[in-house]
Amino acid sequence: MSVAEPPHRHVEPARPPAGGDVAQAPAAQPPLDTLAWLPWLCLLLPLLIYGAVGVYRYQQLQAETEVRLDRALRIATEHALRVMDTTEALLARVGDIAAGPTDRLGRDEAAIHVQLRAMAANKPQLQDILVFGPDGRPRATSRFFPAPDVDASDRDYFQWHRNGRGGLYVSAPLVSRSTGEPFFDVSVARPEPDGSFGGVLSVSLRPDYFHQFHGDLAADEPGLAINMLREDGQVYTRWPQLARAPERLAPGSPVMAGIRSGARSGMVRGVSSMDGRDRLLAFRRVGDYPIYLGTGMDLAEMRMRWLREMGLLAAFGLPSVLGLFWAARVALRRSREALEAARRLRQETEARRHVEEALLQAQKLEALGRLTGGVAHDFNNALMVISNNLVLLQRKHPETSSRYTESIGRAVDSATKLTRQLLAFSRRQALVPEHVPLQQRLPAVRDLLGPVLGSRMELSIEVDGATRPIRVDAAEFELGLLNLAINARDATGQNGRLSIRARNAAPDECPPLVDGPMVLVEVADNGPGIPAQILPRVFEPFFTTKPVGEGTGLGLSQVYALCQRAGGTATIASAPDSGTTVRMFFPPDTSPVVRDDTLPAVQEELSLNVLLVEDNAEVAHALVPMLEGMGCRVTHFDRARAARDWLARQATLPDVLLSDVVMPGELDGVALAREVRERWPALRVVLMTGYAEQLDAIGRLGLEVLPKPCTPVMLLQALSRPPAP
């Protein structure tokens, strides 16, 4: 790719004019040693939050389980109550049909059978309706005609009524002596006309009917267990079926303890006597009948669900927490080193201040620029590792929650903007100046500034139709406007006005030391203005009057550096209660407009042999799988000399050499590229750099260059582009 020559940089006075609304100067910062606990706070605070989330989520899962358990219990109870009410109503009707002396039952058995069979039709819960005589033998049934010759006089329900205990009786689980089918019986006594015992009226219910209903209900609630039992603990049905399960609940079970206490319903936690598991148990009585429904949920399943959720959260959160802890430790150490370097620099500056004030001020700014440029360059490598690994994570695990990956992406974008400001001030940002027509670019900025300013702040943008185009890095130009808009918003309290106007500057409007015609971009607000005593300092890097955490002090220095790199400058005019106006001067772009319409379409899969030379192991570990994911075959070396020696031994050269520029050893990326051009001119070379001052040498070689951090899309486009002839 072609690289433009760096713009002419003229020398400004020692304290350049500044731009942007600022408040009063902050108090002195506390000693850095007081922040020694910050890395541990970065580690402990997320762990405390993780623990709190775990406790909250466990309680939430338990509450959800209780709701699910109670809902299933209510449904099963209502179903059983309807069946029992229907059964009791049937017994009343059977009593009317079978009224009269016992001798009549034998004579009218056929007619009674027909009526009973009609009553049992379309009632799948019924096994049989029976009328027993006083001797315990059936006189009529709904299922058989004639009635089978069986004796029920020893059954518990028959003895109950024969002994005159009266009322509705629900039997224990039984097995039919005529068909061998399981059932339980609901019965009442049949009196003779003289009031003596005349037998029993019985409705036999099918346990498997309830079992099937409970199975359908449990299908929507994984892990749910349902029991239907008599108040003495005899179990009619259980879901799921258990091998060698007891026929009744143990007297000491939590449910039986609640039933014995007279409770009609309850929810307890304990070990189930059915399967010995720790369960959350609920029970409820079926109306006034001596029948209870019980539901249970295995707490081990709930805990496993909780552990899976917390494990997934830890898998994504723990690396970030450890990375934050490490970054805080590194930042604290580097900050101490930086403060020590700044202290020595201040001592030297004080010794020379009386000799040449302006020169010393420029040296201080240059020293700070080198410091911030070095830190930001290293951080760009880290951002490149994070962003590339994030792409690999999304590609290998597309099911990953977008909420977490989007949060990582936003953090990378935010950090990239900060390092861009640092590198912009240090003049080490690998920028790509382009032809920018303000008539098109400035109106489009409204969408960028609108959300920042808010709905209550008025924004106006005016561009003179005769305004000439300028040549700047478009992203850096928009960043400068965004910084000025944020300053205006903070100064006016989101209730003011911001106006952006662009036109060709008149000759008498240009500041000193700026030659030739200029394009003026003017940004003005109606805020409270800037005090005169701090106005000369507001373009200095890291100077801010905003509270801690609300400003970096790099916004206005980025605006000044933007104009200076383009060959212009920036000035400010402000007074208390009169607002602030920042003027940015740019030389017009007289170069012809080149439209890049010849780029080939980017292919999703490449088939290239790539020789990668990158000394940073973390960057290389992120680039190699990224390139392989594009279909490339990658050979990696961490030194230029090793890559050159490997090339000398190859009979077939790779398709592309992709190399970093700054590397240790006697050969850096540029020197390796020169030697490759001399010895292997057919080998295509693509370099990567984060330093703008290297662009001249790379451009003179006619080599392609990518800025760092390099996104996967930029890398794919560069590798898929055919080599220049």
Read off the pLDDT of residues 682-692 as tens digits, 9 standing for 90 and up. Answer: 899 998 876 65
pLDDT of residue 14 exceeding 90, the answer is: no
Res. 511 pLDDT band, cuts 50 70 90: confident
Read off the pLDDT of residues 569-596 as tens digits, 9 standing for 90 and up. Answer: 888 888 888 888 999 999 998 876 644 4
pLDDT of residue 366 exceeding 90, the answer is: no
Average pLDDT for residues 645-665, to the nearest whole number?
Answer: 90
What is the residue extent of each domain of the chain?
98-205, 434-586, 609-720
So what's the pLDDT on residue 572?
Answer: 83
So what's the pLDDT on residue 86?
Answer: 92
So what's the pLDDT on residue 599?
Answer: 34
364: Cβ–Cβ under 8 A, 6 or more apart, which residues?
Answer: 345, 349
Read off the pLDDT of residues 170-193 as tens digits, 9 standing for 90 and up. Answer: 999 999 888 889 999 999 999 988
End-to-end CA distance of the chain: 13
pLDDT of residue 649 exceeding 80, the answer is: yes
Rounded-to-integer distance, Cα 431 and Cα 690, Å: 9
| Contact (CB, 8 A) for 420 and 429 | yes
pLDDT averaged over the chain? 80
Res. 602 pLDDT band, cuts 50 70 90: very low
The verdict on whether omega for the bond into residue 712 sits within 30 degrees of 0, i.e. cis, is no
Read off the pLDDT of residues 40-58 as tens digits, 9 standing for 90 and up. Answer: 777 888 888 888 888 888 8
Q: What is the CATH number of domain 98-205?
A: 3.30.450.20
pLDDT of residue 219 exceeding 80, the answer is: yes
Question: Regarding predicted confidence, which is higher, 606 or 16?
Answer: 606
Angle ∠(617,619,621) on CA atoms, nearest 5: 65
| Contact (CB, 8 A) for 531 and 23 | no
Question: Under CATH, to which class is 609-720 assigned?
Answer: alpha beta
Rounded-to-integer distance, Cα 445 and Cα 471, Å: 17
Instruction: Look at strands 224-230 and 197-205 and give their pairing.
Output: unpaired
The pair of structure tokens assigned to 443 is 């109106």
So what's the pLDDT on residue 431?
Answer: 63
Rounded-to-integer distance, Cα 632 and Cα 608, Å: 5
So what's the pLDDT on residue 460?
Answer: 92
So what's the pLDDT on residue 5?
Answer: 34
SS3 8: coil
So what's the pLDDT on residue 428?
Answer: 56
Query: Helices 712-720 & 357-396, crossing angle to 10 degrees?
Result: 80
pLDDT of residue 463 exceeding 90, the answer is: yes
% of the chain with per-residue pLDDT over 90 = 24
373: left (phi over 0), alpha (psi -120 to 50) or beta: alpha
693: Cβ–Cβ under 8 A, 6 or more apart, which residues?
Answer: 6, 427, 428
Average pLDDT for residues 339-344, to the nearest whole number?
Answer: 83
Rounded-to-integer distance, Cα 12 and Cα 27, Å: 29
**Cα within 13 Å of Cα(375), Cβ side:** 22
Q: Which CATH architecture has domain 434-586?
A: 2-Layer Sandwich (3.30)
**What is the Rg, in whole angstroms, of the alpha carbon atoms belonging to the chain?**
43
In angstroms, what CA-CA distances link 487 with 64, 494, 582?
49, 11, 11
Q: Tell me which of 155-164, 176-185, 424-433, 663-672 is least confident.
A: 424-433
Q: Count of residues for the chain?
A: 725
- Maximum average pLDDT range among 81-85, 267-271, 588-592, 624-628: 81-85
Average pLDDT for residues 643-670, to the nearest whole number?
Answer: 90
So what's the pLDDT on residue 96?
Answer: 87
pLDDT of residue 413 exceeding 50, the answer is: yes
The verdict on whether omega for the bond into residue 182 sits within 30 degrees of 0, i.e. cis, is no
Res. 476 pLDDT band, cuts 50 70 90: confident
Largest CA distance in the chain: 137
% of the chain with per-residue pLDDT over 70 = 81
- Maximum average pLDDT range among 30-34, 296-300, 357-361, 634-638: 634-638
Average pLDDT for residues 264-274, to the nearest whole number?
Answer: 75
| Contact (CB, 8 A) for 234 and 206 | no
So what's the pLDDT on residue 635?
Answer: 94
| Contact (CB, 8 A) for 213 and 125 | no
620 closest CA partner among 643, 598, 647, 595: 643
In angstroms, what CA-CA distances link 658 with 427, 664, 716, 719, 724?
25, 16, 12, 9, 16
Rounded-to-integer distance, Cα 210 and Cα 205, Å: 9
Question: Regarding predicted confidence, which is higher, 678 or 575?
Answer: 678
So what's the pLDDT on residue 74?
Answer: 92
Model confidence pTM above 0.75? no
pLDDT of residue 561 exceeding 50, the answer is: yes
Write out the E strands in 505-660.
519-525, 569-574, 580-586, 609-613, 633-637, 656-660
Q: Tell me which of 2-11, 134-143, 458-467, 606-615 is least confident.
A: 2-11
Average pLDDT for residues 195-208, to the nearest whole number?
Answer: 91
CA trace torsion 493, 497, 503, 506 (10° rounding): -80
So what's the pLDDT on residue 20?
Answer: 41
